[in-house]
Structure 1
């Protein structure tokens, strides 16, 4: 028996060493600023942002991403100050005027800003001019194209909040006439919050865009690795299943879809307009 003791001791040390392995990869902070599901769900301790970062870290061994959530206004100040960054779920057009040297990954998926109103008073939105005379719910720190002049003319009252659910509640209390939210968040609501009812979704989005990772000049060497991972995810059935859980799997390639397919709801006529190209939830 005593002859086996050294062997057993060596085996225990080897197992202990494997269990205590230290990740020596360089750590890079990844910022996410969205405050709504599926991109941010602090009460559930899991969301699409966390899943993306975890999958990236598991997929490769060159760098470790660590996710940090910031408010958009905080992130704007960070970029304006010239600090290094990697930003998840952003579009280069939103930050290029703050940093002319930023670069972006390939698109992760496509999204849009959609116009939500009450099914009792539906807004048949075609463009920014349709907001004249209304009270519009927006988001703090967010830019919406085409609204500056209408607001300057005092023909649109924009009132910002921190979360989409705040705008939903204000719409329910008739404190605003409509609000803008992302299509991804609305799709999540459809799948996970069926109690949010009596919403009217204009068929014409206010804006459409792709979502990427943005990197500052010092992190541009990471782009080939990031782009390889984006391509990997686009082909991964496991990742597509996770996107389906979050309700956004159809946003991987929305240009192949009609609007009704993308929203996963049937178009419905507005009460006062038999030709209305809108859809109701």
Structure 2
């Protein structure tokens, strides 16, 4: 009898705490119209987000593991990492976010995504920005539980006013309503909402990015063996033309979101 290798594969969970498009689509969220625009997101988009698409590609190129995607809040993730009980890997993360710049605490793949965080304002409300200190006299809306270099430190020191909303979409609503001056988010997330939810031209990303970084897959020490068996597949596919084509299918052409320098 021939055994289908897919059926024989052991399940391996890739976790994410990025509950936002275009990375991961949480079907529990209700996506209503914004700014009187009736566009509604496809509830099945979770299966075509960037993380799920990369996992689908990875599953077609190896049969040892059946990889699935699962959401986990960042605080819960940190507790598991501290206790050494996270049975899986974390997708779409950067060593800096886990105090592992030297990549000695955990096992890291090569990057499969390159990204940039931008300071987004309502169009017409632009202001000079070169450094997080330039935001200290501005009202910010930020996603709850995320770290933003320079800004988080200023908030902790009482030098920065900010509110934490449940999602990037809520933060953009606050910017659009002029209740805050700006928000910080991924350029890809801003692009996604600009194209599908808000009216064209609602927002402008300031010329200087807040941060530029890569996204990789991180394996805790508990899963060192799985890392050894998978990281070459991840590294190869992350720079492949096949993956570049899939990203373009999901995101389309990436417009110039930043204003001219």
Separation in 1, partners of 2:169, 2:130: 24
Correspondence for 1:173 among 174, 177, 186: 177
TM-score for the superposition, normalised by structure 1: 0.75
Tell me, in whole angstroms, the C-alpha distance in 1 between the residues paired with 2:140 and 2:202: 17
Residue of structure 1 aligned with 2:62, choices 60, 63, 77: 60
The answer to whether residue 185 in structure 2 is matched with residue 185 in structure 1 is no
**Structure 1: how far apart are the matches of 2:176 and 2:259?**
22
Q: CA deviation at 1:179?
A: 0.3
| Distance 1:94-1:124 versus aligned 2 partners, 3 A rule | same
Deviations along 1:68-98, whole A, 9 cap, x unmatched?
Answer: 111222222222222133000000111136x
Residue equivalent to 1:264: 256
Alignment of 1:35-54 (within 5 A): 35-41=19-25, 42=27, 43-44=43-44, 45-46=46-47, 47-54=49-56
1:115 and 1:157 map into 2 onto residues whose CA distance is 15
Q: What is the CA deviation profile of residues 91-112 of structure 1, one whole-angstrom value per residue up to 9, with x for unaligned ones?
A: 0111136x95212100112112
Contact 1:102/1:214 (<8 A) preserved: yes
Q: 1:137·1:167 contact (CA, 8 Å) conserved in 2?
A: yes
Residue-by-residue CA offset, 1:221-253 (whole Å, 9 max, x unaligned):
33353333332342233x322201222776xxx
Alignment of 1:163-242 (within 5 A): 163-193=167-197, 195=199, 197-224=201-228, 225-237=230-242, 239-242=243-246
Asked if 1 retains the 8 angstrom alpha-carbon contact of 2:191 and 2:257, the reply is no
- 2:154 maps to 150
Match of 1:112 among 86, 109, 116: 116
Counterpart in 2 of 1:245? 249
Counterpart-to-counterpart distance in 2, 1:91 and 1:36: 17
C-alpha RMSD of the superposition: 2.6
* Match 1:136 to one of 137, 140, 144: 140
Residues of 1 paired with 2:51 and 2:116: CA distance? 18
Instruction: Kindly tell me the number of residue pairs found equivalent between the two proteins.
Output: 239
Q: State the SS of the aligned residue for 1:23.
A: helix
CA distance in structure 2 between the aligned counterparts of 1:110 and 1:181, rounded to whole angstroms: 14
SS, match of residue 61 in structure 1: coil
Q: SS of the counterpart of 1:121?
A: coil
In structure 1, C-alpha distance between the alignment counterparts of 2:130 and 2:51, rounded to whole Å: 32
Deviations 1:92-135 (A, max 9, x none): 111136x9521210011211211001112113221111111221
Report the CA distance between 1:150 and its aligned residue: 2.5
- Alignment gaps of 5+ in structure 2: 28-42
Cα distance, 1:75–1:248 mapped onto 2, change above 3 Å:
farther
- Quick check: 1:29–1:66 contact (8 Å CA) kept in 2? yes
Structure 1 unaligned blocks of 5 or more = 1-13, 251-262, 269-276
